[in-house]
Structure formats: structure tokens, C-alpha cells
Structure 1
């Protein structure tokens, strides 16, 4: 097999591969920078909880309107926001920590979503909601993913400094009177991008393309803006490599993309020039 047949032919010869590639590009540009802010604010597990909380809303939207893109997206968006707001309220009103509140609520939401899909649909419907199918992305889903990515980039550009400060020193930003809206904007951006990822990767895999490149980027650069650029690049490379792996190996596309992103994380963990394990060992030996 030639290099052309291995790397280029799938995207040149097949329209569904080109649509999947465009979807991965949009997801990389929109979700990876938001993931960097979530990591900076120590909300990585919160992102995972919100991704799982999409399921009951998407399942309810499918039960009401069939497998309608907009009904499932709106339902998932509202369900994830509801879990986030409820977890924040529980944290403020009880002695329970935020991570415990999110864990309890997302488990309840996930179980409710699975039962709802099982009672109203088939095992195929459940697999589609859990794992998605980026190779089946149509024009409407592409418009949604591209729209979310565009809004995310514009919002990050317009509110970059307050969002960064809200992650580094939220107490100071609250004293300045901007803490509330900055945190809300970050939460809405996170949920919107998870909804976009859900269309391609499903509820179980959607957080992977947001968080794995973001955590990997921290091993290469220290400043936040370059971290966002590196995270977006790693997310795009994960998408391209995952699509090729799923095409040639006849594997599920979503898990393949997230698995490649996990491979980049392990490589960054070992070889990253900023706190990578091998670089730490080398500095220790030189010392």
C-alpha cells in the first residue's frame, strides 16, 4: 500500500470521510481551547460528568421528536446545564464537595438516560447515543458543529482575559464584579462543545477530544494561549489519525479518535519538554 493510498485516498475518494474530517477540524478548534480552561480551573472531571449528563436530555429529545438533530442537541444541552446548576447548588447548600455532587448527579442522569433509550428504542439506538458515529455526520450536524466552534472562538477572543482570570484567581474576579458571568460563559461554552462532540463521538467519548489534548498540551508549553493552539493541533491530529485507523482497521471511529488522543497524552507525559517524565529524570541526573 502506497503512502497516498494509506493517508490521502480515503479522504479523496469518499465523501463521508471528508465530512468526518471537517467535523474533526471544527471540534478541534472549538473544544480543545475550552478544555484548556477547564484543566486550568481543575474542572476536568466536571467536564466528564457533564458529558455523561447529556444522555437523558438527548434520549428525551429522541423520544419526543425521533432522532432529530436539533431536538437531541437541545435536550442534551439543557440536561447538562441542569446537572451543572444542581451540583453547584448542592455544593453551596450542603457540606458535600463539588466533585461528589457532580458524580452523584451524572450517575443518576446516565442511568436514567440508558433506561429511557432502552425502553423507547433498540440496542442500536443506545450504541449510537453512547458512542456516536463521526463517519455518519451529515450536513446539518456539520453546520451545528461548525456553528458551535465559531461561537466558541469568538467568545474566547472577546472574553479571553476574564475567562483566564476566572480560572486562575476567581475570588479576585468576583471582587471586581465579573466572576459570575465569566464562570457562566465557561460553563455554557463547555456544555455547547460537549453537545457538538456528542453528535460525532457520543456521550461516552465526547469529552475525550476536549480534555485529552488539553492535558497533553500542558506538557509542552506553559502559557495559556499557546496551550490552546497546541491542544487544537493535537485534537486535529487525533481526529485525522483516528479516522484513518478506523477506515483501514474497520474499527469504531469515535473510540479510535479518542484512543489516538490518549496515545498523544502518553507521549506528552513521557517526552514533553515541560515536566515530562523523561525530561524530569534528565534534569535530575544533570543536577
Structure 2
């Protein structure tokens, strides 16, 4: 029974193995970015960028259909345009960057959905919005592995500046940490990871594997390194669990993986040793006694 539930789907079906390998690759790179987004109070920015890539993906779909290369290039250009354009508009008009990002991502999402609807059918739109394990072909797998490798290599020199700026941006500026440069690099990495995730998770769910394990990790460690390790482990566990749920219950892979990550977050909130509800309750009772 255990073999049939947990191992047989991956042993028998190649598309599930490719999806698992791709999601595990994303689990190594996306959750650390999610931890830094959480520390920098930018958790919702990842969702904004995920929606911002939609017009570029739709343009790639117009040109070459469900081509990973065409949609990836279009999505990358659109994501960078939204992220960099929001900052430029905010500085030019004196407004807040988060308000500009909100306006741009709503416009981008609506435009992308309209573009796909004009040229494709309901199946194509569902695939782009919610992902599909069947869409993780060899090209998508190479993209996920390449983005994961690039992200880890880029985070090695960026680790200390990002941690320093996340906790004390004024001190980082006084030490010449070049926060603006690292911030742009960081946003580019977020866009790349969202872009790599959309094949399996869809544009609406792409940030789920990035943010939910990161948010859950704060209940398992109080150090940045500990949170990153916990987030990676939770993401890997949720990838396998979500794909199994998708296979056995016949639901889209993206929502299944995000639901599994949401379940891990709920367990972390309840049982996590760092500010979990039940450990805090027991500590209060012990002190009261």
C-alpha cells in the first residue's frame, strides 16, 4: 500500500519523475529568495512579479505556441520591465513603488489573460495559469535546473549584503554595501525563478513554492541560515506531496503543491518551536505554574 501510494507513480511515469526533479531543483533556489523577501518585507512583491510576466508569456505563446524558450524569453522581458519600470515610474512621479507595482501587475495580468484568450482556448489558458505536470518536458527541466544553478551561484556573493540590508539597511549603506545593485540583482533572480516555476505551477501559483515554505520556516529557526535550510526542506517535501496529490486526486499540479505547502505552513504555525502557537501556550502554562 505504501509503495503504491508514494513510490509507484514516480517509478511508472516519466512525466512525474521529470516534474519531481524540476520541482526539487526549484526547491533549492526559490525558498532562499522567499526568506530574503520575507526579511525585507517584500513578500507580496513576488506575487506581483509572477503576474507581471504574463504578457510576455502570452506574446511567446502567440509567436511559437507552448514553446518553453519563446515563453521564457517573453516572460523574462515582461518581468524585468514591470520590476524596473515600477521603480523608474515611482522615482519620476514621486509616488510609492508598491502602488506603481500594483497598478502595473493588474494591467499586465489582465493583458496577458486577454492575449491568451484571443489566440488560444480554455485548455491553453488553464495550462498557463495553473501549470501542468505534463508541461514539464526536457526543455522545461533544463530551464529549472539552469535557473536553480544560476541562483545558487549568484546568492553566494550576495548572501552577506542581502542579510545586512535586510536587518539594518542604514548600516549597510554606511559600509558601502551598494544596496541598489544587490537589490536589482535580487529582483532579477526572483523573476527568473518565477519564470522557471510557471511550467509546473502556472503563473498564478508560481510563487507558492517560493513564499509558503519561507513563511513556514520562521517557526523552525531564528537564524537566517536555519530558516533557509528549513524552507528548502519544506519545499522539497511539499513538491513530492503535491505531485502525489495531483496524481491520485486528478487535480492540477500547481494548486496541489501550493495546498501541500499551505498545510506545512499551518503545521508550522501550530507546532513550530519558534513562536508556534502550541509551544508558546505550553511555555506560558509552565511559567504560570
Q: TM-score, normalised by structure 2?
A: 0.95
Q: Which residue of 2 aligns with 1:232?
A: 232
Q: Which residue of 2 aligns with 1:278?
A: 278
Partner of 1:96, secondary structure, is coil
Matches within 5 A, 1:193-208: 193-208=193-208
Following superposition, the deviation at residue 46 of structure 1 comes to 0.6
Q: Counterparts of 1:63 and 1:170 in 2: how far apart (Å)?
A: 43
Q: Counterparts of 1:283 and 1:105 in 2: how far apart (Å)?
A: 46
- Distance verdict in 2 for CA 1:286–1:101, change over 3 Å: farther
User: Which segment drifts farther, 172-181 or 62-71?
Assistant: 172-181
Q: Counterparts of 2:239 and 2:31 in 1: how far apart (Å)?
A: 12
Question: Could you list the per-position Cα deviations for residues 85-140 of structure 1 after superposition, in whole angstroms to 9, with x for gaps in the alignment?
Answer: 12222333345333222211100100011111111211111111101113431111
Q: Counterparts of 2:209 and 2:185 in 1: how far apart (Å)?
A: 20
Q: Counterparts of 2:156 and 2:209 in 1: how far apart (Å)?
A: 21
Matches within 5 A, 1:1-287: 2-175=1-174, 176-287=176-287
Partner of 2:204, secondary structure, is helix
Q: Could you tell me which runs of 5 or more consecutive residues in structure 2 were left unpaired when the two chains were aligned.
A: none
Following superposition, the deviation at residue 177 of structure 1 comes to 4.8
Whether the aligned pair in 1 keeps the contact of 2:161 and 2:177 (CA below 8 Å) is no
Q: Counterparts of 2:92 and 2:168 in 1: how far apart (Å)?
A: 23
Whether the aligned pair in 2 keeps the contact of 1:45 and 1:99 (CA below 8 Å) is no
User: Which segment drifts farther, 203-212 or 245-254?
Assistant: 245-254
Computed over aligned residues only, the root mean square deviation of the Cα atoms, in angstroms, reads: 1.4
- Distance verdict in 2 for CA 1:279–1:11, change over 3 Å: same
Q: Counterparts of 2:134 and 2:165 in 1: how far apart (Å)?
A: 37
- Distance verdict in 2 for CA 1:90–1:281, change over 3 Å: farther
Whether the aligned pair in 2 keeps the contact of 1:174 and 1:180 (CA below 8 Å) is no
Question: Could you list the per-position Cα deviations for residues 165-189 of structure 1 after superposition, in whole angstroms to 9, with x for gaps in the alignment?
Answer: 2222233333415112111111111
Q: Counterparts of 1:248 and 1:127 in 2: how far apart (Å)?
A: 20
Q: Counterparts of 1:174 and 1:111 in 2: how far apart (Å)?
A: 38
Following superposition, the deviation at residue 250 of structure 1 comes to 1.4
Whether the aligned pair in 2 keeps the contact of 1:166 and 1:183 (CA below 8 Å) is no
Q: Counterparts of 1:108 and 1:169 in 2: how far apart (Å)?
A: 34
How many residues get paired? Answer: 286
Q: Could you tell me which runs of 5 or more consecutive residues in structure 1 were left unpaired when the two chains were aligned.
A: none
Partner of 2:203, secondary structure, is helix
| Structure 1 stretches of at least 4 aligned residues deviating more than 6 Å after TM superposition | none
Whether the aligned pair in 1 keeps the contact of 2:148 and 2:193 (CA below 8 Å) is yes
Question: Could you list the per-position Cα deviations for residues 233-270 of structure 1 after superposition, in whole angstroms to 9, with x for gaps in the alignment?
Answer: 10111010011111111111111000000000111111
Q: Counterparts of 1:100 and 1:267 in 2: how far apart (Å)?
A: 33
